Amino acid sequence: MTINTEKLFKIVYRAFYVFIIAIVCFLLIALFPIKGNYQIKIVKSGSMEPAIKTGSIVVIKPSANYTVGDVVTFGKDTKKDIPTTHRIVASRAVQGTLLFTTKGDANEDKDTQEIRQSDIHGKVLFDVPFFGYIIDFARKPIGFAILVVLPALIVIYDEGAKIFSEVKKMRLKKQQEIQNETIA
């Protein structure tokens, strides 16, 4: 059973579309997170390896309950401050406030500061290895141009070429009809 090159091209072309749409969706979700909803964060250190690799994206969702064993993302999230993703290894209540002790799986020691439930952005639902590198690159102007604008221009060019080809075929068909009417 052989696949002809046209079918292979269509498969690759459609996969390319899906890949670009996925990158744009992840980029938009990462750039415009909605508080209290799913968020995407990029893991920039190896403290959770091998469970979560450096450069992965983690999809998190806030929860009302966090327990020992949960992997959570917490801390400041600004242009200068990167939130941390670690596992909860202990919890305790102090005057009605829950405090959690966290630790990276690859770290030997627990984190030095306990965190409050209000410091937690959310529980990690799943991660996608190495996709964070692409999202991080796409956030930069050159990366955005290469990963979003350039593919969009290629798609626009391809669709324009198809339209031009169809218009040309229609004109030829119309000219042949006019010639056939003239002859008849």
Mean pLDDT of the chain: 85
At 85-113, the pLDDT tens digits run 999 999 998 888 899 999 999 999 999 99
Catalytic residues: 47, 86, 111
Would you say residue 30 has pLDDT above 70?
Answer: no
Domain boundaries, the chain: 34-129
Task: Say how many CA atoms lie within 13 Å of 143 toward its Cβ.
Answer: 12
Do 40 and 126 meet the contact criterion of CB atoms below 8 Å apart? no
From the number of C-beta atoms within 10 Å of its C-beta (0-12, 13-18, 19+), residue 39 rates as buried
Write phi, then psi, for 118 (nearest 5 degrees). Answer: -70, -15
At 145-180, the pLDDT tens digits run 887 788 788 888 888 988 999 999 999 988 888 887
What pLDDT sits at residue 35?
A: 64
Look at 181 and 30; give whichever has higher pLDDT.
181
Domain 34-129 grouped into CATH 3.10.20.90: no
Q: Rounded to an integer, what distance in angstroms lies between the CA atom of residue 167 and that of residue 44?
A: 51
Would you say residue 70 has pLDDT above 60?
Answer: yes
What pLDDT sits at residue 132?
A: 84
In this prediction, residues 48-69 reach a mean pLDDT of 91
The fraction of the chain above a pLDDT of 70, given in percent, is: 92
Would you say residue 1 has pLDDT above 70?
Answer: no
What pLDDT sits at residue 32?
A: 65
Q: Which residues are CB-neighbours of 26 under 8 A, at least 6 positions away?
A: 40, 57, 131, 135
What pLDDT sits at residue 17?
A: 77
Do 62 and 36 meet the contact criterion of CB atoms below 8 Å apart? yes
In this prediction, residues 2-21 reach a mean pLDDT of 77
Computed from CA positions of residues 77, 68, 52, 129, in that sequence, does the dihedral angle turn out positive or negative?
negative
What pLDDT sits at residue 3?
A: 63
In this prediction, residues 60-88 reach a mean pLDDT of 90
The fraction of the chain above a pLDDT of 90, given in percent, is: 36
Q: Rounded to an integer, what distance in angstroms lies between the CA atom of residue 28 and that of residue 52?
A: 22
